């Protein structure tokens, strides 16, 4: 009887610890708060920027910062119109271009701190391409994907409660789960969730870039360039944290009518 009570209590707690993703309305697990995860993410971001080499390409750096500011305003406008500005509490936006020509990547920490690598700039090609990547990465932060992944990791490892409590129980594992949650690691068991997050960020990112004044049709064009860059080769979908290029382009085109409602040149 006691075991049943405990199980029901845990299930009730998990059901209570749900949040709604802005834009899509999907329900997600949320055991930790942004007030806990954003400071940890900011500390990690500052560490990366301090140890990395910032790009001295003034034109590309200005482009990243300009697009970032426009996407930021679009996000704040969208959230305000939908009475969801509280979701951005604690955000301290920052946009940097790191000088790593061989790294084709960009990411956004919880709290709105973004890093682009110079290796992705030739594929971005122009400001529109930067907006595709920026909208997508910022969407991860606005949709609280890292918070959701961390919550899932804590539950999977029996660490229920706040991040502080989990750190007290198992600091090494909790830190590892945090790194995985913000994209600094990978876990085969989490791949299905990661693909879901990638697809969701694509859809949300389309809306944000459209609101910022960028043509959302640039998104499938960006992924076509990315596919060409890789010679068209990609791993099987079930082994990839990202949707295959073909699926991604199709989904983006399917979401285009919704995004175009927000687009103003």
Collapsing DSSP to helix, strand or coil, 53 comes out as coil
Q: Which residues pair with 109 in a beta bridge?
A: 113
Question: Running DSSP on this structure, what letter comes out for residue 242?
Answer: S
DSSP secondary structure of 102-160: T---EEEETTTEEEEEGGGHHHH-SHHHHHHHHHHHHHHHHTTHHHHHHHHHHHHTT--
Count of Cβ atoms closer than 10 Å to residue 166 Cβ? 25
Active site residue 76: no
Active-site choice (36, 137, 198, 200): 137
CA distance 224 to 237: 17
Look at the alpha carbons of 228, 230, 233, 239 in this order and tell me if their dihedral is positive or negative: negative
Which residues are annotated as catalytic? 137
């Amino acid at each position: 009887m006691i075991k049943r009570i405990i199980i029901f209590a845990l299930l009730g707690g998990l059901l209570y610890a749900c949040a709604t993703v802005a834009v899509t309305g999907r329900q997600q697990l949320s055991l930790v708060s942004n007030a806990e995860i954003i400071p940890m993410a900011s500390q990690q971001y500052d560490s990366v920027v301090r140890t990395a080499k910032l790009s001295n390409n003034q034109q590309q750096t200005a482009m990243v910062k300009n697009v970032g500011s426009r996407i930021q305003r679009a996000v704040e406008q969208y959230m305000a119109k939908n009475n969801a500005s509280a979701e951005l509490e604690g955000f301290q936006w920052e946009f940097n271009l790191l000088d790593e020509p061989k790294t084709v990547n960009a990411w956004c920490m919880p709290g709105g701190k973004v890093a682009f690598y110079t290796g992705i700039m030739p594929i971005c090609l122009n400001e529109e391409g930067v907006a595709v990547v920026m909208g997508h990465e910022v969407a991860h932060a606005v949709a609280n994907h890292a918070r959701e992944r961390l919550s899932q990791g804590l539950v999977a490892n029996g660490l229920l409660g706040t991040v502080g409590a989990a750190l007290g129980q198992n600091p090494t594992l909790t830190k590892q789960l945090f790194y995985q949650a913000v994209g600094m690691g990978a876990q085969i068991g989490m791949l299905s969730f990661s693909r879901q997050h990638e697809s969701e960020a694509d859809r949300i990112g389309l809306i944000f870039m459209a609101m910022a004044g960028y043509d959302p049709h640039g998104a499938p064009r960006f992924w076509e360039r990315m596919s060409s860059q890789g010679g068209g080769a990609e791993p099987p979908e079930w082994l990839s944290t990202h949707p295959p290029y073909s699926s991604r382009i199709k989904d983006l085109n399917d979401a285009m009518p919704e995004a175009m409602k927000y687009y103003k040149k």
